Structure 1
Amino acid sequence: MAEKAGSSSSTSNPLTLIIEDEVEEELLYGAGSGWVQALTSCDHLASLSSDLAHIPPPQTPCSQCQNPKENWVCLCCKDVFCSRFVNKHMLQHYEQSTHCLALSYSDLSVWCFSCDAYLDAQVIQELRPVHEVAYILKFGEAPPFR
């Protein structure tokens, strides 16, 4: 048994070292670490409401269950629903209406259900106004754009 353990060293094979380095880097910088790269474009922006300067305030409860926390505003119809961590009403709204763009009142992130990805609201010009309005409603001042 000692002979078997000594002969199967993964550090002696250069290819194994490269693969291990790639896996380690992916875990460090990729989804395994919780870090997410937001998209800087989205094919679904045409579905945005034409009036995103007027959205419900962040303390608006879910229109289905009245939960006051973890809520999202649909950027297509401006209705407010709770997150998938509460009762999944925003997810259900997307599945029933195909309204795919939503802004989280928790962290002001924008999610596209169709792309299954976060969108960079400070880079995508169509999203900057609603991000700014939401920021002002939540914090009482304009956001520091990068």
Structure 2
Amino acid sequence: MANQASSSSTALEVLIEDEEFLYGAESGWVEARTSCDHLASLSSDLVHIPTPETPCNRCHNPSENWLCLCCKEVLCSRFVNKHMLEHYQKVNHCLALSYSDLSIWCFSCDAYLDAQAILQLHPVYETAYILKFGQAPPFPTTDNQAEASTSGN
């Protein structure tokens, strides 16, 4: 029994010493980007978007759907029938919002984008959040925003 406890604690010590395991790729956690060179391809009207319940325009799948932020087409994820991925490959529309968790993905950057940090994404994120949850999202406020709201500007 003492031998088992010794080997278990040794394995735990190895994991704790491996910071990459705890804080990086091994954990499956990724940090969203706070900038993207492809934001110019965003639709000019992202306040008027289909609801989160909209099925895939191609296969009519009711869940795991994404909103193309370039043309506002709703298509299913790579875990269903890959219609959003095919859309990107065919027409190069690289920005999409997941209706499942409201994350935003750039296919060209191969990365998630931080919708709260990137001002150009605020309108679509806020609209999708309201459509999904019935209230405005809790955007973090900066000192300048807090000062403006308290001064009445």
TM-score (norm 2): 0.80
In structure 2, runs of 5+ residues without a counterpart are: 1-13, 141-153
1:102 partner SS: strand
In structure 1, runs of 5+ residues without a counterpart are: 1-19
**How has the CA–CA distance of structure 1 residues 65 and 40 changed in structure 2, closer, same or farther, with 3 Å as cutoff?**
same
1:42 partner SS: coil
Does residue 91 (structure 1) correspond to residue 76 (structure 2)? The answer is no
- Aligned counterpart in structure 1 of residue 74 of structure 2, from 71, 80, 93: 80
**How has the CA–CA distance of structure 1 residues 23 and 43 changed in structure 2, closer, same or farther, with 3 Å as cutoff?**
farther
Q: Counterparts of 1:138 and 1:87 in 2: how far apart (Å)?
A: 23
TM-score (norm 1): 0.84
2:18 partner SS: helix
**How has the CA–CA distance of structure 1 residues 33 and 130 changed in structure 2, closer, same or farther, with 3 Å as cutoff?**
same
1:86 partner SS: coil
Aligned residue in 2 for 1:107: 101
- Aligned counterpart in structure 1 of residue 19 of structure 2, from 9, 25, 42: 25
Aligned residue in 1 for 2:146: none
Q: Counterparts of 1:94 and 1:22 in 2: how far apart (Å)?
A: 40
Superposition RMSD on alpha carbons, in Å? 1.4
* Length, aligned pairs only: 127
Name the % identity. 74
2:120 partner SS: coil
1:28 partner SS: helix
Does residue 43 (structure 1) correspond to residue 61 (structure 2)? The answer is no
Which ranges of 4 or more aligned residues in structure 1 deviate by more than 3 Å?
Answer: 20-23
